[in-house]
């Protein structure tokens, strides 16, 4: 018993080292003076010159700005559609089209991206022929594609959150005469808000990060950040990409740290409220 | 009246996402399927129409040339088989590394579990592309690993690590490891420890108890994790392009090259259909697991 526990724990430590060493090495070499990237130039390092180069690189900054705008719109669209789909799947029981909806929201998650990308581009080409829209591919088609594959993830997150609650609260509100929209806004929405929040973040990250699908549905002049990075690193390592990676890792780490602290705080407040409520109950005389 | 509006509301809630996915997910596949039966031609768009007007009457034009091309050219068959091999080996490696990790997290204290899980998931929130790129710096001839080994005197000349099968395995295992660990953890965490204690009380050695109790019980988790790694790995594009061999392409890269370099849309579509045919069974299996999981939560 003991020895196997030890083996698993060792595997866990080594596995975490495996997960973090590449990221850390990228961060370390972003401060390296040498253009050779992986040869540490001790005499002139650490340096911030790659960060300076990055911040004066108009192509990268422009692509980052485009990626941010696309990710903001895609995540918001995906959250609306994914919440609707998650509600339908978790709450409507058996309805016509349920199997179709379940299949179409689960498939994009595992579908190889080259296939999704190819099929979406062929769709846009076909609609352009048929109805003259869209006029060529670009930011709009990228956004439509991102909404489509991101909403699948939001659906799963919202659906599993809803599946964790029973419907009694919603039914009680209905029995008390609340209209469906009221029930949704006053009961369901607050309950699934954490899921919607994490779904939005997940969708934002996926959209911000996507390369393969984007490559298919992007046109000239609509290069997103991953596309610019890919064309730079395809033929080797470049130090300013290390700097970019470091900045992105730090942003994500900060965001996750803030989210964790916030959730801890919320949980502690809830626990305190529960304790207070219990104490209040005890101090009040029994009513029956 | 209220019932009527409620029914209408429900139809709207379910109808909007269904309509969206029909238009942007299902119909595109039908278009891919249909173009895979065309022939390439010099025009915009560069394939023959499905229905052409001949002597004033519509006639259906179906060509199987894209498929017969794929089945006769050894290049495609070998990249198809190579993708299967890479995906299978990587999935197995992921399982061998991910299982003990998930096991250790599931058996660790309640306080450290969320922290460990977060450590596993955290890399997933940083860019996939940049994490793959990081391995170029580690694996190349003048990279960190070769430099370290030469400094230690283990080797005297750099070993070719980049642009090998090994590099692709590393890249896939590295990128998809969280997808293996999470379903395994979700499964292992629910196991009843009393069973293991009972087995120990009855004299079963730990290894035997693991093989007879824990392993069979975690089968659903193993399957879910393996599918989540295997299916996307078959069509993987970024990892083999950045880390892999140049003399042997994976099928996802072949599709992309046919489309962008050769501008042969019918062949690219036929490749997509053949990948789908291969993955239809695993994808349906995954959907069934997913549904059962959600119903189990209920």
> Tell me: the pLDDT tens digits for A234-266?
876 678 899 999 999 999 888 888 887 887 888
Is there a contact between B101 and A248 if contact means CB atoms under 8 Å apart?
A: no
Q: What's the pLDDT score for residue B50?
A: 67
pLDDT in tens, A124-166: 999 998 888 888 889 999 999 999 999 999 999 999 888 888 7
CB B140 within 8 A of CB B162: yes
Is there a contact between A110 and B147 if contact means CB atoms under 8 Å apart?
A: no
Residue B48 resides in a domain: no
Residue B46 resides in a domain: no
Residue B226 resides in a domain: yes
Could you give the percent of chain B with pLDDT greater than 90? 50
Q: What's the pLDDT score for residue B105?
A: 94
Residue B7 resides in a domain: no
Is there a contact between B174 and A19 if contact means CB atoms under 8 Å apart?
A: yes
The Cα B163–Cα B247 span in angstroms is: 9
Interface membership of A235 toward B (CB under 8 Å): no
Residue B151 resides in a domain: yes
Residue B37 resides in a domain: no
CATH number at residue B208: 1.10.3720.10
Q: What's the pLDDT score for residue B31?
A: 93
**Residues in chain A closer than 8 A to B229 (CB atoms):** none
pLDDT in tens, A66-88: 999 999 999 999 999 999 999 99
| Terminal Cα distance for chain A, rounded | 53
How many other C-beta atoms lie within 10 A of the C-beta of residue B282? Answer: 18
Nearest chain A residue to B287, by CA: A106
The Cα A3–Cα B206 span in angstroms is: 9
Is residue B1 predicted with pLDDT exceeding 70?
no
CB pairs under 8 A between A and B: 261
For the domain made up of A74-220, the CATH class stated in words is mainly alpha
Is residue B61 predicted with pLDDT exceeding 80?
no
Is there a contact between B13 and A111 if contact means CB atoms under 8 Å apart?
A: no
Is residue A1 predicted with pLDDT exceeding 60?
no
Q: Across residues A86-99, what is the average pLDDT?
A: 88
Is there a contact between A111 and B119 if contact means CB atoms under 8 Å apart?
A: no
Give the confidence band of A288 by pLDDT, cuts at 50, 70, 90: very low
The Cα B49–Cα A125 span in angstroms is: 13
Neighbouring C-alpha atoms within 13 Å toward the C-beta of B103:
21
Q: What's the pLDDT score for residue B142?
A: 82
pLDDT in tens, B205-250: 888 888 888 898 899 999 999 999 999 999 999 999 999 999 999 9
Q: What's the pLDDT score for residue A38?
A: 64
For chain B, the average pLDDT equals 88
Query: How many structural domains does chain B have?
Result: 1
- Give residue B243's domain range: 71-297
CB B103 within 8 A of CB A8: yes
Is residue B111 predicted with pLDDT exceeding 80?
yes
Nearest chain A residue to B27, by CA: A123
Is there a contact between B16 and A84 if contact means CB atoms under 8 Å apart?
A: yes
Residue B220 resides in a domain: yes
Of B107, B200, B111, the C-alpha closest to A8 is B107
**Residues in chain B closer than 8 A to A114 (CB atoms):** 235, 237, 252, 255-256, 272, 275
Is residue B12 predicted with pLDDT exceeding 80?
yes
């Amino acid at each position: 018993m003991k020895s196997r526990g030890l083996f698993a724990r060792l595997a866990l430590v080594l596995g975490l080292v495996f997960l973090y060493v590449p990221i850390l090495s990228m961060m370390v070499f972003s401060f390296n003076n040498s253009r050779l990237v992986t040869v540490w130039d001790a005499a002139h390092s650490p340096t911030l010159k790659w960060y300076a180069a990055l911040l004066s690189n108009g192509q990268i900054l422009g692509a980052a700005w485009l990626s941010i705008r696309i990710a903001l719109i895609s995540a918001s669209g995906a959250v609306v559609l994914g919440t609707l789909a998650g509600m339908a799947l978790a709450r409507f029981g058996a309805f016509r089209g349920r199997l179709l909806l379940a299949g179409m929201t689960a498939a994009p998650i595992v579908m190889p991206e080259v296939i999704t990308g190819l099929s979406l581009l062929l769709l846009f080409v076909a609609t352009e022929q048929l109805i003259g829209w869209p006029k060529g591919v670009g930011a709009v088609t990228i956004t439509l594609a991102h909404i489509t594959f991101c909403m699948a993830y939001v659906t799963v997150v919202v659906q599993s959150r809803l599946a964790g609650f029973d419907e009694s609260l919603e039914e009680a509100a209905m029995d008390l005469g609340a209209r469906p929209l009221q029930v949704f806004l006053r009961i369901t929405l607050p309950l699934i808000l954490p899921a919607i929040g994490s779904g939005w973040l997940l969708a934002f990250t996926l959209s911000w990060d996507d390369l393969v699908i984007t490559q298919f549905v992007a046109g000239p002049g609509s290069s997103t950040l991953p596309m610019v990075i890919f064309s730079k690193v395809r033929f080797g390592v470049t130090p300013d990409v290390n700097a970019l990676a470091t900045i992105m890792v730090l942003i994500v780490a900060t965001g996750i740290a803030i989210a964790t602290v916030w959730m801890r705080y919320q949980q502690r407040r809830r626990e305190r409220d529960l304790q207070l409520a219990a104490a209040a109950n005890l101090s009040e005389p029994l009513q029956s | 009246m209220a019932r009527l509006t409620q029914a209408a509301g429900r139809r709207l809630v379910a109808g909007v996402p269904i309509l969206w996915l029909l238009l942007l997910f299902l119909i595109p596949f039908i278009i891919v399927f249909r173009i895979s039966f065309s022939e390439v031609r010099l025009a915009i768009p560069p394939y023959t129409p499905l229905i052409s007007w001949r002597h004033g009457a519509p006639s259906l034009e179906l060509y199987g040339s894209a498929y017969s091309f794929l089945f006769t050219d050894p290049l495609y068959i070998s990249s198809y088989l190579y993708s299967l091999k890479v995906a299978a080996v990587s999935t197995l490696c992921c399982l061998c590394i991910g299982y003990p990790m998930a096991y250790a997290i599931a058996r660790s204290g309640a306080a450290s579990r969320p922290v460990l899980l977060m450590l596993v998931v955290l890399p997933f929130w940083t860019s996939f592309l940049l994490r793959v790129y990081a391995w170029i710096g580690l694996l190349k001839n003048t990279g960190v690993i070769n430099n370290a080994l030469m400094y230690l005197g283990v080797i005297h000349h750099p070993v070719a690590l980049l642009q090998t099968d090994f590099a692709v395995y590393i890249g896939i295992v590295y990128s998809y490891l969280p997808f293996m660990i999470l379903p395994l953890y979700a499964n292992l965490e629910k196991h009843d420890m009393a069973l293991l204690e009972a087995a120990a009380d009855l004299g079963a050695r730990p290894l035997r108890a693991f093989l007879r109790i824990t392993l069979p019980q975690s089968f659903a988790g193993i399957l879910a994790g393996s599918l989540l790694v295997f299916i996307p790995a078959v069509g993987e594009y970024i990892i083999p392009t950045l880390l892999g061999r140049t003399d042997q392409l994976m099928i996802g890269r072949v599709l992309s090259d046919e489309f962008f370099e050769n501008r042969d849309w019918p062949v690219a579509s036929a490749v997509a259909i053949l990948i789908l045919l291969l993955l239809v069974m695993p994808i349906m299996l995954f959907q069934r697991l997913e549904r059962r999981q959600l119903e189990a939560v209920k």
